[in-house]
Amino acid sequence: MRKRELKNIEWSIAIIAIILCVIGLVALFSATQEAEYDEFNKQCIWLVVSIIVGICVMIIDYEEIVKLSPIFYGIFIVLLIAVLFTTPVNGASSWFDIGFFSFQPGEFAKVFVILFLTYSITKIQGRDKRNINKPLKLLILLAILALPVLLIIKQPDYGTAAAFLMAMVFMLITAGIDKKYIIGTVILVVVSVPLIYNFVLPEHAKKRIDIFLNPESDPRGSGYNIIQSKLAIGAGGLTGMGLLKGNQTQLGYLYPKTTDFIYAVIGEEMGFIIAGTVIILYVLLITKCLYVAKTAKDETGTLIASGITGIFIFHMIENIGMVMGLLPITGVPLPFVSYGGSSLITNFICIALLLNISSKRQKTIFVK
């Protein structure tokens, strides 16, 4: 990578990601003391691996990566099919258990679906961006998205599937989709939500929604996690109860505290100041992602950055929302903070792509 490109990189994105990782590691350290810090130690290893993978992605021109995206898309479709035949973990067939670690293809697929959608959109648009609004062309893009989404729903993992949809929405808006499709989609969603709830969703998914609306209806069952999470956040106050001192965290009332409910650990033991800082960091990260999308040198970079922005927005809002009882529980991890190797590596690949795109911005021409 040339010196001019290094100067032009939006390094603040990487700095924000590292700060979030540090906060996550501190929370994991406190949350895993009874397990001899097993997940904390593993997360430290995954952080090192993620940074190395991110550096490799950053030094390869993103346009070259996009050219290879059809191959990666095909590979991950095969993996998403194969994972359905694995032994379910917590009711979901989402992981390949490979000795030391579990590999979740759905996490990595988010990146390569975004890249393949970018590849397809740019091919469809050609010299005329209006081509994206031709019904047949739009159906092709929807089919590209539908295949991995349906396979992930089959696992079942509705949270990850929703993240794909959010990325697609951001990318289509960026690509210049006609407003009539947006309005039509909104109407379709409004009409279909009650139908899906009554006739499509399995009982366990319905129960999650019902418990979200009224967790006190089953305080010792499905509503338990939400209630304990809100108690933990409320008990933290302004400055928190202190590391290793949170009642819900340390006495085992909060579960799973290292993944889905890591934000509750932060709220209880570090307090409102740190918990609020986490939200501010995410807002800054998303703002920087949008800036990279706006200043990218070409449509390819803009589309990739837009898709990544959609992923980060969904994960932040959904995870923090469900922990605070504002949204249904879906098992979506908090980027850079929650425990999980697949999630962390995927997030750093996204960060690396953003840095890669920012390094190629046209304004570098004017840098001496």
Contacts of 249 (CB under 8 A, 6+ apart): 30, 31, 232, 257, 264, 265, 268, 269
Q: What pLDDT is stored for residue 363 in this prediction?
A: 56
pTM for this entry: 0.91
Q: Which residue type sits at 212?
A: F
Q: What pLDDT is stored for residue 368 in this prediction?
A: 35
pLDDT, tens digit only, all 368 positions of the chain: 677 777 889 999 999 999 999 999 999 999 998 888 899 999 999 999 999 999 999 999 999 999 999 999 999 999 999 999 988 877 788 888 887 778 899 999 999 999 999 999 999 987 777 888 899 999 999 999 999 999 999 998 889 999 999 999 999 999 989 888 888 888 988 888 888 878 777 777 777 777 777 887 777 777 888 899 999 999 999 999 999 999 999 988 988 899 999 999 999 999 999 999 999 999 999 999 999 999 999 999 999 999 999 999 999 999 999 999 888 888 899 999 999 999 999 999 999 999 999 998 865 444 33
Q: What pLDDT is stored for residue 244 in this prediction?
A: 93
Q: How far is CA 110 from the centre of its chain?
A: 8
The pair of three-digit structure tokens given for residue 81, joined into one six-digit string: 């099919």
Cα–Cα–Cα angle for 12, 16, 22, rounded to 5 degrees = 145
Q: What pLDDT is stored for residue 305 in this prediction?
A: 97
Phi, psi of 102 (to 5 degrees): -105, 130
Q: What pLDDT is stored for residue 195 in this prediction?
A: 84
Determine how many CB atoms are found less than 10 A away from the CB of residue 75: 14
